[in-house]
Amino acid sequence: MVRPAQQQLSGGAGRALPVKVLVHGVSGRMGGEVLAALCREPGLEPSCGVDAKVSGEYLSLPDGSGQIPISSDLEAIIARCRPQVMVDFTNAEASIRACRMAASRGVNLVVGTTGLTEANLQELDSLAREHRIGALVAPNFALGAVLLAHLVRGLGKYFEYAEIIEMHHDGKIDSASGTAISLARSLREGRDGPFTRPTPEKEPVQGARGGELEGVSIHSVRMPGRMAHHEVILGTQGQTLSLRHDTINRECYMPGVILAIKEVVKFKGLVVGLDKMLGL
């Protein structure tokens, strides 16, 4: 049974209607978590879902409260359900295509997909301003990871060496992670030049020192049994400083996603990073 229309009301007369949310990538693991979080949150309504691999016309909600329409046709389902916000957890190519379509229909954007380029971000900012919508792109919605990025910002100027170790499940499609790249750039802030990156005289295994960004070595681990883990190691004469964040399950991202949905309808243009929403 489709969720009744009268359930869209959040209360009595004079009270605001809930924000209607489209989940792009609804069949994925993050899509399922987003749906469950939306069902728990007053003031937000899971309106519809889109996924390239959907079967059927409706999807049962995780809390058993009803069903929502689903489709592989984003344009058609936006016209049918008229969502106010699209939450996207897919891949970079699918994400930018979906954002172009949704933005042109006046739908605000919350994007957790990693791998977007600087050109993609510039395009999203232009789209958001042109169509007078809000767009938020965040490399990580876990509040602990956002605080880690905040903590390392400005620390880099006190150290000569910096390395990042990031570990994820074997299904992650990009390497290094968007969070690791963001951390490396945060470390670089306030420095006059890149970090010192020792180069070995011999390298029997090519690439053993990891990737490099701004003099920061980034090491990516991919294997089953991992979720998302980021460790920043800073070094200078006679000492090191290590900071680490571990993601235990995908539920940890949901407070950040919910915050982003509520805030993105309040501004126009692009915001990059959940830290802006937290006032950091």
- Which amino acids are annotated catalytic? 168, 172
Peptide bond just before 176 cis, omega within 30 deg? yes
- Among candidate residues 76, 85, 99, the one with its CA nearest the CA of residue 23: 85
- DSSP assignment of 134-159 equals EEEE-S---HHHHHHHHHHTTTGGG-
By the 8 A CB rule, do 117 and 236 touch?
A: no
Phi, psi of 53 (to 5 degrees): -110, 20
How far is it, in rounded angstroms, from Cα 54 to Cα 222? 28
By the 8 A CB rule, do 112 and 138 touch?
A: yes
- Among candidate residues 104, 103, 113, 105, the one with its CA nearest the CA of residue 135: 103
The one-character DSSP state at 84 is S
Neighbours of 267 (CB within 10 A): 16
